């Protein structure tokens, strides 16, 4: 029964995204910017292919793994880009429920708040995964001509890291969305918090000591960089999963507070 409820909410959320003009607008901006970065970084005047050609003309060594270097640089840019895209994609997860007055129905329904939160999160993460399809196609075409060829495990791990990063951000964003009726405020607060978690390693390094080490470990950027470089670290996986669970837990508690308030 729980799984059926999660699937039902997941399908409802996913259908809502595919019927939302705002979601298509966000997707179009993401595709435009990511495609522009892809072209510039690969084929532009300062792109990696042009850099290799210049080194060959100057007689410099060109023993560079072009595919690997391009993958890490491009995925790093995409990771930074979604900091701006995902808050806009997630800002209506619960704020629309508050505006329509249906959030009280969710709070008092027999379906648990955990089920609702998990279903909503799966819906928005799946939509983000669909947004990634054109990029994967571009990369597949580019990497098919790479010499030396890139090991398939490296881009697979990099894209898994991107999905985990997106799920972590969206989970925290879902909690923030449950606190306000304003979609704009939800997006701004989400961006501010995620930006802090993105650069907290720099803060930790400046502080030093065990407190600095703890802050550095909380950085989304540090663990995302490990994955896009093909470094599988179980601590990175645990961190992303912890952020996802934390966001779902806080969202469920936020909605539960409405249940007590209504009582």
pLDDT tens digits for 39-59? Answer: 998 888 877 878 877 777 777
Task: Compute how many other C-beta atoms are within 10 angstroms of the C-beta atom of residue 197.
Answer: 17
CB 136 within 8 A of CB 78: no
Q: Could you state, in order of their start, the residue ranges of all structural domains in the chain?
A: 2-35+67-262
Tokens matching residue 249: 């837990």
What is the per-residue pLDDT across 247-259, written as a single tens digit (0 to 9) for each? 999 988 888 777 6
Tell me how far apart the 2 most distant CA atoms of the chain are, in Å.
Answer: 77
**pLDDT-based confidence at residue 130 (cuts at 50, 70, 90):** very high
pTM: 0.89
């Amino acid at each position: 029964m729980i799984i059926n409820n999660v699937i039902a909410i997941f399908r409802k959320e996913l259908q809502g995204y595919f019927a939302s003009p705002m979601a298509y607008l966000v997707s179009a901006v993401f595709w435009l910017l990511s495609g522009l970065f892809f072209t510039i970084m690969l084929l532009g005047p300062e792109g990696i292919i042009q850099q290799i050609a210049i080194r060959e003309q100057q007689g410099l060594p060109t023993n560079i793994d072009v595919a690997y270097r391009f993958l890490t640089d491009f995925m790093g840019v995409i990771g930074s880009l979604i900091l701006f895209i995902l808050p806009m994609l997630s800002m209506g997860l619960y704020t629309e429920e508050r505006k329509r007055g249906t959030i009280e129905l969710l709070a008092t329904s027999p379906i648990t708040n955990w089920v609702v939160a998990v279903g909503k999160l799966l819906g928005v993460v799946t939509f983000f995964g669909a947004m990634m399809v054109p990029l994967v196609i571009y990369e597949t075409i580019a990497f098919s001509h790479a010499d030396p060829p890139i090991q398939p495990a490296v881009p697979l791990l990099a894209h898994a890291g991107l999905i985990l990063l997106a799920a972590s951000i969206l989970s925290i964003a879902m909690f923030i969305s449950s606190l306000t009726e304003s979609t704009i405020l939800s997006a701004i607060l989400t961006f501010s918090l995620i930006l802090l978690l993105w650069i907290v390693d720099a803060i930790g390094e400046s502080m030093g000591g065990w407190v600095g080490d703890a802050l550095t470990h909380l950085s989304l950027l540090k663990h995302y960089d490990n994955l896009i470089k093909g470094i599988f670290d179980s601590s990175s996986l645990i961190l992303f999963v912890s952020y996802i669970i934390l966001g779902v837990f806080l969202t469920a508690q936020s909605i539960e507070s409405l249940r007590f308030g209504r009582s």
